[in-house]
A and B are shown apart, each in its own frame.
Chain A
Amino acid sequence: MPIAEHLKPSLIELLLAAADDKLMLGHRNSDWTGLGPILEEDIAFSSLAQDEIAHAQTLYEFLSPIAAKDENELAFGRTAEEYRCATIVEPHDEFDWAAAITRQFFCDHFDRLRFRRLAQSNHKPLADLAKRIGAEEQVHVDHADSWMRRLGRGTTEAKERAQKALDQLAPLTATLFEPVDGEPALEKDGIYPALEQPMIELWRREVDAVLKDAGLSAAFTDVDPTKKGGRRGIHSKAFSELLDEMCEVYRIEPGAKW
């Protein structure tokens, strides 16, 4: 089904949120290249970075004709207020392994559900793409789950540090679930159809089951309201710093061909 003209602005918001989450997370993952605690995880985080950034790039390409903007301009040519990523993908993990794994764990489970929803879209090109991304997310989820278990069942220090990361990051997960403008219309129209149960309930059940198995827990208290608003373009200081670093080359000569 072609996308109705009046729904296009909301669809752009929705897919920018997905792509921006992945672009930022991928960039944060790439910080670990060369610094992973073991060789396998150096490869894993570099590979995760490649996956996330490739997914973001493909989503920007998909949006390009709808938004009438070049994909590079979408990725790097916007002002901070025009990004739609959730606050949880913004802060640096300060090379705390438990924090990196915990954020990945929360975001991977969210993305698997988000792309399961998009895979049921009545807009076939979007559903086809989402099915493929969703299948790749499964590998990410398995990786994150096995690490939560490893940390939770590991040494006292590993468990304490994992629990500390969970305590810090759990409230921020609320920012993943903030809706973009026009999301109810996309849901009603079948472009972003609802799942069998509210997404947040499915997500909590999934992550709680893994955490229980790992001997860990998360308290999903609501986040400080000043940290909300990523989906509407309100971002943290860490985000502006990351954006400046990421766009440094692009801004020297926007539109340059390589």
Chain B
Amino acid sequence: MKTKIRELRKARKLSQEELAEAVGTTRQTITSIEVGKYTASLPLAYKIAKFFGLTIEEVFDFSELEG
């Protein structure tokens, strides 16, 4: 799944480690989500979106599910 996490993180000058710490996950999980290898669970997606002050739809791209 495509996400805007990398852009949002870079705009706030945050490292993957810092974002991971803030949302209670590991750096490896953030890396996997950013490159689209792993899809975050709903609670984690919510935490990430909330951290950036956005909605889940604004951070995660659901267009491929809309087919």
* B and A form one assembly: no
Binding site for B on A (CB under 8 A): none
